[in-house]
Structure 1
Amino acid sequence: MSTTVAELIRQNKVVVFSFVHCPFCTRAKSILTSATKDVRVYECDQMANGEDLRHQILKAYKHETVPAIFINGEFVGGCSDLEAMQKSGDLAKRLA
C-alpha cells in the first residue's frame, strides 16, 4: 500500500513537499526551519512515489507547483503564501 498525502500531513506538524533544486522550495524550507524544528520535508523529485504524491496534492488542493506546505494538517499554499504569513505574524501564531 502506498503512502498518502493525508497520512503524511496527519503524522507531522509541518510538512513541505519540495524539489531539491527549486529556489522557492529552498526559501520555504529556510523560513520554516528557522521558525521550528518540527518540519518534515519530502523531496518529491527524489522519491519513487513523488509524482504520485504531487498528483494527490493537485487533485485534493488544486495546487500544481512546489513547494506545497501544510501546517497543523492544513494546506497553506506555496512559498509566496508562506512569506505573506511570516510577514503578517500568522506563521508564528500557527506554529505556537
Structure 2
Amino acid sequence: MDKVMRLASEKGVVLFSKSSCCLCYVVKNLFQDQLGVTPTIYEIDQDPDGREMEKALMRLGCNAPVPAVFIGGKLVGSTNEVMSLHLGGGLIPLLKPYQALR
C-alpha cells in the first residue's frame, strides 16, 4: 500500500493500468486525447510488485484494481467513477492545473 500511495502522490495525475486492459486504454485516451492531460502511467502487470499493488488498490476502494485514477494524490476511482465525473462536469475542473496549454 505504501508504494501505491507514494507513486500516486508524486505526480498530479496518476493512472494505474494493465497493458492488456481495454478499459485502461479508454481512460488513457480520454485523458491524453480528449482532455489534454498526460497522466503518469504505471503498468502494474509489468511491475515486480504488481500483485501487491493490485491488492492495495482494492483495499483503497477500487471496485476493479485497474484503471485506478488519482488526481492530486487522491483516489478518483476506476472507469465508472471517472466517466460519471466527466459526464457530470466535475472532471475538467479537477484536471485544470494539469492540462497542457493548447
Q: TM-score when scaled to structure 1?
A: 0.86
CA distance in 2, matches of 1:50, 1:17: 10
CA distance in 2, matches of 1:79, 1:63: 10
CA distance in 2, matches of 1:43, 1:26: 11
Structure 1, unmatched stretches of 5+, are: none
Q: TM-score when scaled to structure 2?
A: 0.82
How many correspondences in the alignment? 93
Deviations 1:44-72 (A, max 9, x none): 1111111111122122x132521111111
1:31 and 2:36 equivalent?
A: no
Structure 2, unmatched stretches of 5+, are: 97-102
SS of corresponding position for 2:54 = helix
SS of corresponding position for 1:48 = coil
Structure 1 ranges of 4+ moved more than 4 A: none
Change (3 A) 1:7 1:47: same
Aligned to 2:17: 18
1:73 and 2:73 equivalent?
A: yes
Which 10-residue stretch deviates more, 30-39 or 82-91? 30-39
CA distance in 1, matches of 2:26, 2:38: 17
Identity of aligned residues (%): 27
The Cα shift of 1:10 comes to 1.1
Deviations 1:1-58 (A, max 9, x none): xx61111111011111111111111101111113243411111111111111112212
CA distance in 1, matches of 2:63, 2:82: 16
CA distance in 1, matches of 2:49, 2:63: 16
Aligned to 2:57: 57
